[in-house]
Amino acid sequence: MAVEIIMPKAGMAMESGTIIEWYKKPGDKVSAGEALLEIETDKVSMEVEAEASGYLLAILHDAGAQVPVITAIGWIGERNEPVPAFSADNSPRNQAVPLQRADTPLAAPSGNNSTENGTKTGALRATPAARYKARREGIPLSQLRASGRRGEIRLRDVVRGGAEDESCSQSLPAAGTTITRPLSAMRKTIAERMTESQRNIPPVTLTRPADVTALLELRKKLNQREEEKITLTDFIVKAVAEILKRSPWMRTMLINNELHEFEEIALGLAIALESGLIVPVIRSADRKNLGTLSREIKELSERARSGKLHPAELHGGVFTISNLGMYGITSFNPIINPPQSAILGVNAARQELSLHNGTLRERMMMNLSLTIDHRVLDGAQGALFLNELSGKLESPYHLLV
């Protein structure tokens, strides 16, 4: 019996996914567990695996299509098996692009794989996703350098070529011309969530300086003898996790006019990508020591930048940390990620003169910016949080325990 290939629901908030590339074409043999296609959600790219062995009977949605979750996008079955008819009461399936069927009977595997994973026109070969994006961006395939193993142009080649083309167009602007591009799934989600935050949440941003002189000295000592380097972000995550454990109001959210207090200390860490912003979640952060947190943060950051995060790692955070200190920013108003009630902005550490007992001394000072949802939290609660965090960073040795 034929088996549906469906657009997976890879997270509670996921409503649709965009097909980036099919790895197989109708008529190809597939094995259970084999990657069939790549999709893009609102946050990450991921592969969809075959749930059964057989042959790819049909593709219902081509590369570039945005498809609702739990909707059929293809069929796997036995050789010569007819493709099941669409159900009249399943509207997403009825909106499919023209059906691609395997020839009947299905062709046996051929020794000529010159067009495998790509289509060919003359001397140019390109994957369907690459052709779709190149056509949408107006980029001639003949101007792109192919990086595929069989000499085909892949999606990344089009993206790279578009970036190079944009760089050239910026250096030599043409009067009166503009470049119009649709929002990516990630950028669209960021736009929607930030607009929702500003529309529905009355934000209050509190800023407090912290003396991080001792913290920077401690980090320097640790990094002199440890192979795995500790960052300021690692210390801040550790300190915030300890405070949240004792501050249930900071992990309370307003959902459907009810206050929900969450038990797990799940911290979101904002990571900047070329395509936008992504916030992987560190689970049970209060139960992990500094070294474990440091390794997990590095591993999550690396997988975020390589697009290998699982959607489940992007949901469930109760508090977010956004660090712009590496860009030299000394103050900003971070925007709350709904339905969370608070977000911490970390700024650059800078050298300042401080008067202590009548003596001037140089200190390293860092501003901490906390934005709170005033429907859930009051200014005094935010101030207490910042005061405690500042104290932990100014006396950092206990964070090693």
Task: Check: CB of residue 43 under 8 Å from CB of residue 21.
Answer: no
Structure tokens at 205: 């941003």
Structure tokens at 199: 């529309």
**Cα diameter, the chain:** 92
Cα 350 versus chain centre, distance: 30
For residue 40, which phi and psi values (nearest 5 degrees)?
Answer: -120, 125
The residue from 28, 165, 260, 374 that is catalytic is 374
Q: Distance (Å, rounded) from C-alpha 232 to C-alpha 162?
A: 36
For this structure, is 260 an active site residue? no
Task: Check: CB of residue 127 under 8 Å from CB of residue 149.
Answer: no
3-state secondary structure of 290: helix
Structure tokens at 279: 């916030």
Task: Check: CB of residue 322 under 8 Å from CB of residue 346.
Answer: yes
Structure tokens at 239: 């300190």
Task: Check: CB of residue 305 under 8 Å from CB of residue 273.
Answer: yes
- What count of Cα atoms within 13 Å lies in the side-chain half-sphere of residue 306? 7
Q: Distance (Å, rounded) from C-alpha 345 to C-alpha 332?
A: 7
Task: Check: CB of residue 348 under 8 Å from CB of residue 359.
Answer: no
- Sequence-ordered alpha helix ranges (H) in 172-278: 185-200, 213-225, 232-245
| C-alpha distances out from residue 209 to 140, 234, 319, 320, 386, Å | 53, 18, 20, 19, 9
Q: Distance (Å, rounded) from C-alpha 401 to C-alpha 394?
A: 16
Helix (H) or strand (E) holding 373: strand 359-373
- What count of Cα atoms within 13 Å lies in the side-chain half-sphere of residue 18? 16
For this structure, is 374 an active site residue? yes
The residue from 165, 310, 378, 398 that is catalytic is 378
For the annotated catalytic residues, the residue numbers are 374, 378
